[in-house]
């Protein structure tokens, strides 16, 4: 028996014009007619009872969360009055577990098509978390020097595909990432964590006693109390706060396909180009990705992303899609 906790408090700016601050990435329908958080929930409910699935999200996204997950008991939605990043969110959410229970924390916004392999790996991690009293990560074989991920340096193999971790490095620069990949014993951190409640609290106590002091006796459903406390809680991700520091980190080598779907380029990578789509015509160009209900014609351009929604139209060089943030901040200024 475990508790699964979906982290769903991020803000999404990289998917404009599909997203805006009212609908961050986890609430977007990127790959199907279901939102990413809905897909995450459906993946979990294959093996878990809804009463053991929790979501921690922003107070302002309560209605959206309820609408996406109507089967989830309402008291399983934990609300944060203000975002404090993932270390406080993991701490608050872990409070719902029993002392020795294993907790599985996962992002709301990942693409994981291979459910069977995903669950095999999770069960392996759950058993290992009980046996080794460690903080378990899932290590993904890196395919490019991505700087938006954490890197896990593996040490000795304690059991088949279960490694002790030598070091955890969150979001290195590109030179360091290239170096890591060359070495061969480095993995991407998938952003999913498995640990026993008491092991997690002991490790947090060691390295983040301030966060623990403020949160350990709170009822995570007492929003009034959280309104008072949260502004004083440090804003830091679990990767920096705990994973880089703890000496009890392990990783399970994982081979299910996985993507954080960070921006339009990763969507294009997963879906492929649209040059041959029925609603697209490309003249003297190639490698166009189109997301639009309208007919789109492209002339003399290559490696372009075109996204059209009711919010606006994006036309971008695919290598520069990260800069969509600059458009979003401009829009914010204009209100």
Binding site for ligand GDD (CB under 6 A): 7-10, 26, 56-57, 80, 83-86, 89, 107-109, 148-150, 170, 188-191, 239, 260
Q: Taking a C-beta distance cutoff of 8 angstroms, is the pair 86, 182 a contact? A: no
- For residue 191, give every residue at least 6 positions away whose Cβ sits within 8 Å of its Cβ, in sequence order, or none: 106, 107, 110, 150, 260
The residue (of 108 and 128) whose beta carbon lies closer to ligand GDD is 108
Residues in the chain: 335
Q: Taking a C-beta distance cutoff of 8 angstroms, is the pair 18, 311 a contact? A: yes
Which whole-number Å values give the CA distances from 137 to 51, 64, 72, 188, 240, in the listed order? Answer: 24, 29, 26, 10, 14
The residue (of 17 and 191) whose beta carbon lies closer to ligand GDD is 191
State the nearest-atom distance from the C-beta of 146 to ligand GDD, in Å: 8
- 168, β-bridge pairs: 152
Bond from prior residue into 17 cis (ω within 30 degrees of 0): yes
Q: Taking a C-beta distance cutoff of 8 angstroms, is the pair 146, 188 a contact? A: yes
13 is an interface residue for Mg ion by CB under 5 A: no
The interface region with Mg ion, picked from 69-77, 124-132, 255-263, 317-325 by CB under 5 A, is 255-263
Q: Which residues of 45-58 are buried (b: 16+ CB within 10 A; e: fewer)?
A: beebeeebbbbbbb
The residue (of 55 and 298) whose beta carbon lies closer to ligand GDD is 55
260 is an interface residue for Mg ion by CB under 5 A: yes
State the nearest-atom distance from the C-beta of 82 to ligand GDD, in Å: 8
Determine the Cα–Cα distance for residues 207 and 135; give it in Å rounded to an integer: 14
Partner from Mg ion, ligand GDD, none binding residue 306, C-beta < 5-8 Å depending on class:
none
State the nearest-atom distance from the C-beta of 273 to Mg ion, in Å: 24
The residue (of 86 and 94) whose beta carbon lies closer to ligand GDD is 86
State the nearest-atom distance from the C-beta of 176 to ligand GDD, in Å: 14
Partner from Mg ion, ligand GDD, none binding residue 7, C-beta < 5-8 Å depending on class:
ligand GDD
The residue (of 254 and 274) whose beta carbon lies closer to ligand GDD is 254
Q: Interface with Mg ion by CB under 5 A: which residues? A: 260
């Amino acid at each position: 028996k475990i508790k699964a906790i979906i982290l769903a408090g991020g803000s999404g700016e990289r998917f404009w014009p599909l997203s805006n601050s009212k609908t961050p990435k986890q609430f977007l329908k990127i790959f199907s007619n279901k939102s990413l958080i809905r897909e995450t929930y459906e993946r979990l409910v294959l093996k878990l009872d809804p009463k053991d699935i929790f979501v921690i999200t922003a107070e302002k996204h309560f209605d959206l969360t309820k609408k996406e997950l109507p089967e989830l008991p309402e008291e399983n939605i934990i609300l944060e009055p203000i975002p404090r990043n993932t270390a406080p969110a993991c701490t608050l959410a872990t409070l719902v577990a029993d002392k020795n229970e294993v907790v599985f924390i996962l992002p709301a916004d990942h693409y994981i098509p291979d459910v069977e392999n995903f669950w095999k790996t999770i069960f392996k991690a759950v058993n290992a978390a009980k046996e080794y009293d460690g903080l378990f990560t899932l290590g993904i074989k890196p395919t490019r020097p991505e700087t938006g991920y954490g890197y896990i340096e593996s040490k000795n193999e304690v059991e088949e595909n279960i490694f002790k971790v030598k070091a955890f490095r969150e979001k290195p620069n590109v030179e360091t990432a290239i170096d890591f990949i060359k070495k061969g014993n480095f993995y991407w951190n998938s952003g999913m964590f498995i640990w026993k409640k008491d092991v997690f609290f002991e490790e947090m106590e060691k390295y983040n006693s301030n966060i623990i002091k403020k949160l350990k006796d709170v009822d995570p459903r007492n929003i009034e109390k959280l309104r008072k406390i949260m502004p004083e809680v440090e804003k830091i991700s679990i990767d920096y706060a705990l994973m880089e520091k703890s000496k009890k980190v392990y990783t399970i080598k994982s081979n299910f396909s996985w993507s954080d779907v960070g921006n339009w380029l990763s969507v294009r990578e997963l879906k492929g180009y649209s040059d041959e789509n029925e609603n697209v015509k490309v003249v003297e160009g190639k490698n166009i990705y189109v997301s639009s209900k309208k007919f789109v014609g492209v002339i003399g351009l290559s490696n372009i992303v075109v996204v059209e929604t009711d919010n606006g139209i994006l036309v971008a060089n695919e290598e520069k899609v990260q800069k969509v943030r600059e458009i979003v901040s401009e829009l914010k200024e204009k209100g």
